Amino acid sequence: MYNNNSYGRSSGGYSRSGGSSPRGGYGNRGYGDYGGRRDQDSRQSAPAEPYKPLNDDSYIDEAEKVIKNLCDENGKFKLITTSKIRNLLAMSAEILNKVNNALGGGQEISVPVSDEIKKEIGYLRVRTVYECGREQNVREFADHSHILDCLRDVKTLGDAERFCHYMEALVAFHRYYGGKD
């Protein structure tokens, strides 16, 4: 049978108007009603605290507070996997390496970030937004940790360095409070 909305298949698979799939769309892939997201967590954490820009005196305490607020009633962190948070850390580590190279080259910490570092920060923002869109748990983590706000605030080499250390602190406290793969 010919279906002018199919993409080269006569039944099932990738038809736009339903094909043999009871749900319609791109076929029933077995994801239930989550729109492709199987990691939904019914547990609601406390609302995120208002954003405060990071500073050298408080970013470690802020990271611990974020992770503690996302722990369950038993004190175990269960929201985001270690691998997800470490992927974000790996991208921030690339930024930190470029910042350290700039600082090692004699630049002051108050110097604005280079165009190359701005591109890396922009890419990290895009990847964070993408991961937030894919998984609600990542979005909740990003909302509580204010990662996107912090990235928008990076203007100088010192800001970039502080953000990267904040990401390291988030990973460390995540692990300390029981975050696992």
Which residues is 13 bridged to in the sheet?
Answer: none
State percent of the chain over pLDDT 70: 70
Confidence category of residue 14, pLDDT binned at 50, 70, 90: very low
Average pLDDT, the chain: 78
- Give pLDDT, residue 83: 84
pLDDT of 181 higher than 70: no
The alpha carbon torsion through 109, 111, 116, 118 (nearest 10 deg) reads 90
Helix ranges (H only) for 30-146 are 59-69, 82-104, 115-134, 136-145
Q: Which long-range contacts (CB under 8 A, 24 or more apart) does 73-79 make?
A: 75/177, 75/178, 76/177, 76/178, 77/174, 77/177, 77/178, 77/179, 78/41, 78/43, 78/178, 78/179, 79/41, 79/45, 79/137, 79/140, 79/141
Distance, CA of 119 to CA of 117 (rounded, Å): 5
Of 9-18, 53-62, 130-139, 144-153, the poorest mean pLDDT is in: 9-18
What is the pTM for the complete model shown?
Answer: 0.72
Q: What is the pLDDT of residues 39-71, one digit of tens each?
A: 444 445 566 788 888 988 999 999 999 988 887
Q: Please list the helix, strand and coil fractions of the chain in percent, rounded to the nearest 5, in that order.
A: 50, 5, 45
Whole-number Cα distances in Å, 140 to 13, 78, 111, 128: 33, 12, 33, 12
Which residues is 25 bridged to in the sheet?
Answer: 17
